[in-house]
Amino acid sequence: MKQVSLYTWVLNKTLVFGLFCIASVASAQQNFVKHDVFQTHYFIENKGQINGLYQSIPAVRFTLEEGLADYLITADGIAYVSQSVHDKKGTKDEPEANAVRDGDSYEDDGEEEHSFIELDTSLLFQEFLHHNKQFDVLVESKSGHYFSYLEPRFRSYGYKKVTFKNYYDHIDLVFALAEKGKGLKYSFIVHPGGDPTQIQWRYRGHVANMDASAENQLIVKADDFELQETGLQLIDSRGKLLGAKYQINGSILGFQFHDSISAADRLVCIQKGFEIDPFVTIQANNFYFPRMVNEHIVNSDYDAFGNVYFYGAGLGWRQKVCKYSPDGTLLWTVVGTPMNVYLRFNSGPFGTIRVDRCTGKIYCMAGSGPPAYWRITTDGENDHYWSKPIEPEPSKEFFDINFVTKLKSVAFYCGAHKKNTAVYNVVDSWPVAREVCVTKDSTVGTGTVIRELGRDYVHSAIDDFGNSFALLTQGMDSTNGKYNYSNKLVRIDEDFTKTLWEKKWGFTSFWEYSNSVVISNRGPKTIYSKWYIHNRFNALAVYDRYLYVFDGKHFAAFDKKDGSRLAVDSIAHLPVVHNSGIAVDSCNYLYLGADSGRVYVYQFDGSKFKAVKVIQVISDNTRNCRVYDVVYNYDAHMIYVSGDSFAAAVDCGTPCGNKIRLETSSYRSCGDPLWAKIIKPDSSLTYTFEWRKPLKNELVRSVTGKNKFSDTLSTLTPNTNYRLYVFVSPFCTGTFKTKNFEVKNSFDSVINLSICQADTFFHNGKRSFQTGKYIDSLKTYFGCDSIVTYHLKVLTRSFVDTVANICLGDSVVMWGRAFRSTGVYRDTLLNYLGCDSITSLRLRVSFDSVYQSIAICLGDTVWVGGHGYAKTGLYTDTLRSSKFCDSIVVTKLIVNLPVTELSQLVFCNVDSLSYRGKKYALPFKLRDTLQTWQGCDSLFLLEVDGHWVKADFAIDSSAFPVYQFIDKSTGGKGYHWDFGDFSISTATSPSHTYSKSYLGIIYKICLVVKDAFGCEDTICKDLWVRPMKDVFIPEGISPNGDGVNDSLDLAGLWAFPNAEWTIFNRWGQVVFSANAKNPRSWTGRCEAHGCNGGLLPEGVYFIVFDYYDGVHQRVTANIYLKR
């Protein structure tokens, strides 16, 4: 009988769903440090992202980026691409897309020629000749993240190894990653049967010279750069390094064995295969590429889901943005900018990103120059939202980007012109610029000459109230060959219509050429020196009542309300502006970016700074990695630090508390409304409550308003996770708080069930087996009510019984099986209701065939079916049974012959025998006729014989202690004597001596006599053996220590337990006495009463021994003591 438990099914289903919901909650933020931040050091597959850039080479399969050098792998060879910088003359009205003005020659008016910096691209193509056009491409070690080129169709992955299989016959071309910054490693794997002379190539491009004179090296010089192939090796199948060299025949190159390789080694290579293994690096004539490999992570940000974003790392179109998950896993890297973005080369790796933390969208601005602005989706794709040049001033320089809270817009902070900011509406596809905040020349200059070129808003910060704070660097003069600068802090109102105050911050260290990235990588300080300028300072932080500024060494606190300076301090060992980055938490702890991957922590109490600690972000203190940016996450109490070739997420320690504290409903709901209320809200702030489904970041409800301090979400989707965001900025840029909720289903359900007759349905501890409706109230795994209504229907079983009769040899087929033997067979099937159908087969096999075995006596006859048989044999007859089946009668006939049997019997010591009631004296013979067990006659002959033997013996003790046993038997041929002391003998009349004894012992003597026919007789008699004479007393002792007769010891005392003895000297004095109970040894000393135990003199002594056994008399004897 089956037992069905639906309660278990319901509970398990709920449990599985619940575990899925739990797993879908975002993971917690974890610490991590990354040095290879963008992880672009891969052979990245070309999905079309670079198609059309290089018309002179075949289609690119894979790319490898090394600073400003690229390695492009095609089906026909390798393209080496370098970028170099040179001056280009032009007019003011002819800006170049990839150019930057030289500030030294810039004039405000006129149409004179101007000097621009242009980024040129040079290409050299290594074309492999006569290779197979059809070959397999194998890739290995796929990247865990993808590379986005801002279009879904261009999404690519990277690989650490690429193989062109059978590129030449029996030869593979393998591309492998060298150490980052060391170029490209390619090799040819020559398999057995491969001919290395097939490998030939040439260079296409402006080749000036090829030089293979150096050992294991090839140098190819072009106009603007050169290739260096180094480390050429030939490696045989055993791993042995052998020499190889280049062969140059005009413009055609190839490999060949080095002259030093022996003929035997060459033969091994040809028979077993080998590898040819060079490295290739690109070295520009006027530019040092490895310096560009050192990635500069100049900006970072995060979203409300714990994802972290970093920006930097490239020049020209090589800007990069990457996204890390909360656990430190790289998700994607965006390379380049949208095609529509107007971008100059001087943008460099220096720009800004701002993340809309509510949506995860990234707003990007690449460097100075005309607006280069675009937006990226949370998946790293182009959001088709970018900037276009603002007419009529296309050369306006942008330095920072931020959100305008009240306007729900994006603000750009510009420079080099009178109007210093532009506000862009984030909704429009083509943002419309609105320029505001005109500064007054009279308030900004400190020198004698005020140059408009010198006014730049280089960094900004926005507080929770929507006020914008900007750092303005402006004004310079060159008196006495020295430059002076005037740097201001500016507060802009929340409407972006006016400045509320402007204050000099007290130091003059901010300027483009003074920044850390410039100093560490661009050479000497030169104002606007060619393309060396950039726009990243990360110098401001704001929270609560205070604004903070940091120039890389000095830092100060200002009152937000009026701009008054409250305190100034510095990190003593640091030079000015060799690093940057400042962040503040809700307890006014400052996090200041320093050198060697360190962050200094200070706390401001309203009047002074207090040093708290130093956070060593990079454990390897040998790396002098300067910090460029520090961002604080108010919700997770983390800082995100980026800088010279590293980026990190660091736990700040014990959190000081979020400015927004919430009282909420239970994090798990069974359908009840979710609610949240701010504890002690700030009535001057405008709070936003935003409910989202985190699985797809789907917005469910958003409400904003003055005095809006609580919110309730009533309409809920069962079995769904919700996340509440409470923030004071529409972009979540300021303080925000998150809270996760789970909504579970009450799981009310109606279930139709069917069971079969005789089955039982178990539910909620109850049993049901009749058709009807049953209702249970259960609890789900998460504690929610679950009302389950069961409609139970009991289905009937069916039974089928089949009876069949067959003849032997026939069969019945049922259920796909054949049955041939009598019996009852059953099988269980399913009827049309799905219940058991019990089918049985009762089979009877008519088996009239007979096998019989018959024994008859000689002369008798057996009749079967009219046939008579009288001889031994096997007979078969076919008859017809009453059921009309063949009946086979097999007769095994045995004819028993007359039996004559002779029995010979022998009896021992028997005089007569009775046979069939008659007594016969032995010996005798007789003949008799009997019946065998088959009933046949049998002749019986009996011969009986008799044998007689008599045992007897006599004992002669005259030679005591030797006893003579004398045989008196008759008819004996063999004898076996047992003397009663475990001794035996087979002699006819043996003698025997018993062990000495001081007591009389009775032994049982037995004799077994056998005759020649095995008849035997036994007789036993008792024999008393008298004891031996007396206790033995020796004649003397000699106690001289030689181990012989040193003492008097009497043997046999055990037989006389009451015995005593005394020794006298010749004067009748007692010198020793003892008894059997204390049998001491006499050693020739006087040991009687009154003696001192001294030695007795040599002589004759007298012993008296009493048995005290009632049998023996006293014994006296002399004992001689000899010294």
Arithmetic mean of pLDDT, 1018-1040: 83
Q: Quote the percentage of the chain above a pLDDT of 70.
A: 78
Arithmetic mean of pLDDT, 165-186: 88
Integer Cα distance of 504 and 519 in angstroms: 25
Domain ranges of the chain: 43-284, 515-649, 661-699+718-743, 753-791, 798-846, 850-896, 899-947, 953-1025, 1036-1121
pLDDT score of 442: 31
CATH 3.40.50.880 at 953-1025, yes or no: no
pLDDT at 238 over 80: yes
Integer Cα distance of 39 and 757 in angstroms: 67
Arithmetic mean of pLDDT, 900-924: 84
Let me know: does 1020 contact 1031? Beta carbons within 8 Å: no
> Would you place residue 120 in the very low, low, confident or very high pLDDT band (cuts 50, 70, 90)?
low
> Would you place residue 843 in the very low, low, confident or very high pLDDT band (cuts 50, 70, 90)?
confident
pLDDT score of 526: 35
Rg (CA), the chain: 60
Arithmetic mean of pLDDT, 647-654: 87
pLDDT score of 579: 74
pLDDT score of 1005: 93
Q: Which contiguous run of DSSP H or E holds residue 176?
A: strand 171-177
User: What is the value of pTM for the model shown?
Assistant: 0.61
pLDDT at 1115 over 80: yes
More confident: 87 or 297: 297
> Would you place residue 392 in the very low, low, confident or very high pLDDT band (cuts 50, 70, 90)?
very low
Q: What does the pLDDT look like over 948-994, one tens digit per residue?
A: 899 999 999 888 778 899 999 998 889 999 998 889 999 999 999 88
More confident: 119 or 805: 805
pLDDT at 435 over 80: no
* Distance (Å) of CA 686 to CA 701, 729, 738, 903: 17, 8, 17, 133
Using alpha carbons, select from 224, 225, 229, 238 the residue that is nearest to residue 273. 238
pLDDT at 92 over 60: no
More confident: 521 or 802: 802
In this structure, of 157-161, 887-891, 948-952, 1058-1062, the range with the lowest mean pLDDT score is 887-891
Length of the chain in terms of residues written: 1123
Q: Which contiguous run of DSSP H or E holds residue 423?
A: strand 419-425
Integer Cα distance of 295 and 37 in angstroms: 8
Q: In a 3-state reduction of DSSP, which class is residue 291?
A: helix
In this structure, of 81-90, 570-579, 1092-1101, 1112-1121, the range with the lowest mean pLDDT score is 81-90
pLDDT at 447 over 70: no
Q: Torsions phi, psi of 441, nearest 5?
A: -60, -35
- In the CATH hierarchy, which fold is given to the domain comprising 1036-1121? Immunoglobulin-like (2.60.40)
Q: Do domains 515-649 and 953-1025 have the same CATH topology?
A: no
pLDDT score of 985: 92
pLDDT at 891 over 60: yes
Arithmetic mean of pLDDT, 347-370: 74
pLDDT score of 424: 53
pLDDT score of 1018: 93
pLDDT score of 455: 60
Query: Burial letters for 209-223: b for 16+ Cβ neighbours within 10 Å, e otherwise?
Result: ebebeeebbbbbbbe
Integer Cα distance of 61 and 497 in angstroms: 53
Arithmetic mean of pLDDT, 713-736: 80
pLDDT at 639 over 60: yes
- Identity of the amino acid at 475: G
In this structure, of 138-152, 458-472, 1102-1116, the range with the lowest mean pLDDT score is 458-472
Arithmetic mean of pLDDT, 1104-1123: 88
> Would you place residue 523 in the very low, low, confident or very high pLDDT band (cuts 50, 70, 90)?
very low
pLDDT at 516 over 80: no
* Distance (Å) of CA 38 to CA 466, 625, 737: 33, 17, 29
Let me know: does 330 contact 322? Beta carbons within 8 Å: yes
Arithmetic mean of pLDDT, 997-1002: 74
In this structure, of 386-400, 870-884, 1021-1035, the range with the lowest mean pLDDT score is 386-400
Query: Over the chain, what is the mean pLDDT?
Result: 78
In this structure, of 170-184, 592-606, 881-895, the range with the lowest mean pLDDT score is 881-895
Integer Cα distance of 618 and 529 in angstroms: 33
Let me know: does 628 contact 8? Beta carbons within 8 Å: no
Using alpha carbons, select from 247, 244, 203 the residue that is nearest to residue 225. 203
pLDDT score of 777: 78
Q: In a 3-state reduction of DSSP, which class is residue 226?
A: strand
> Would you place residue 290 in the very low, low, confident or very high pLDDT band (cuts 50, 70, 90)?
very low
Q: In a 3-state reduction of DSSP, which class is residue 891?
A: strand
**Tokens standing for 689?**
């409550």
The CATH architecture annotation of domain 515-649 reads 7 Propeller (2.130)
Integer Cα distance of 609 and 612 in angstroms: 9
Arithmetic mean of pLDDT, 797-806: 84
Neighbours of 1044 (CB within 10 A): 8
pLDDT score of 252: 93
> Would you place residue 507 in the very low, low, confident or very high pLDDT band (cuts 50, 70, 90)?
low
More confident: 817 or 1027: 817
